[in-house]
Structure 1
Amino acid sequence: MFEKLKKRWNVTSNRQVVIILLVFAITGSVSAKLGKPICDYLNIYPHTFHPMLYWIIRLIIILPIYQVILLIVGAVFGQFRFFWEFEKRMFRIGQKTKKTVKRQP
């Protein structure tokens, strides 16, 4: 399993894979924990919205928080560059990469 992750993430050591997994775990937990107080502050409660709408709104709120926390926690663990590249790739999903087209005379 670690070998697949090392290849996919372009990292060289098992230690780095463990650190990256730890950063993802911490970030997910912290952003999920912060979601409720932020929703409470914005007066977004499950009993005032349709349950599906409540969770969609909550996910929309949590996503930017997750992105920021991912960079902060990644930096604390010395993996800022990896997570910066990871986020840039994540936001490129669905976008075509620019290719240069050679014109023939």
Structure 2
Amino acid sequence: MKKLKKRWGIESNFQLTIILIVFAITGSTSAWLSKPFCLWLGITSEDLGFWFTPVRLLLIFPIYQVFLVLFGFVFGQFTFFWSFEKKMLKRMGLGFLFKE
């Protein structure tokens, strides 16, 4: 845990616990919402077969990103999650989305 705290620039175990809780809630919420979201879009495993899961993951990815920042805000960790998002998207080649 010390390495993780140092890597993320976190001082307290409490803050680390809150951050891990936010990751857990975000992942669970995204997974839970992915089925109705795909049904709403009319995407089914019968139509796509093998490609259903990769397509579902690609569709839910932006929703996960929004929820991560939203839940981070609700739990008082907006600054951490906003910088985490920017860093991750820059590594994915989407840094042009942020002016700095």
* Fold shared per TM-score above 0.5: yes
**Match for residue 86 of structure 2?**
88
In 2, Cα distance between equivalents of 1:94 and 1:65:
16
Displacement, 1:5?
Answer: 1.1
Q: Which runs of 5+ in 1 are unaligned?
A: 98-105
Q: How many residues align?
A: 94
Deviating above 6 A after TM superposition, structure 1's stretches of 4 or more consecutive aligned residues are none
Pair 72,44 (structure 1): closer, same or farther in 2 beyond 3 Å: same
Partner Cα distance (2:41, 2:24) in 1: 26
Alpha-carbon distance in 2 for matches of 1:63, 1:17: 23
Please tell me whether residue 25 in structure 1 is matched to residue 46 in structure 2. Answer: no
Structure number with the higher helix fraction is 2
Name stretches of at least 5 consecutive residues in structure 2 with no aligned partner. 96-100
Does the residue aligned with 2:48 lie in a helix, a strand or coil?
coil
Q: Corresponding residue for 1:55?
A: 53
Q: When the two structures are superposed, what TM-score results if normalisation uses the length of structure 2?
A: 0.89
TM-score (norm 1): 0.85
Overall identity of the aligned pairs, in %:
52
User: How far, CA to CA, are the matches of 1:70 and 1:94 in structure 2?
Assistant: 17
**In structure 1, C-alpha distance between the alignment counterparts of 2:48 and 2:85, rounded to whole Å:** 31
User: Higher Cα Rg: structure 1 or 2?
Assistant: 1
Alignment of 1:72 with 2:70, yes or no, is yes
Match of 2:44 in 1: 45
Match of 1:14 in 2: 13
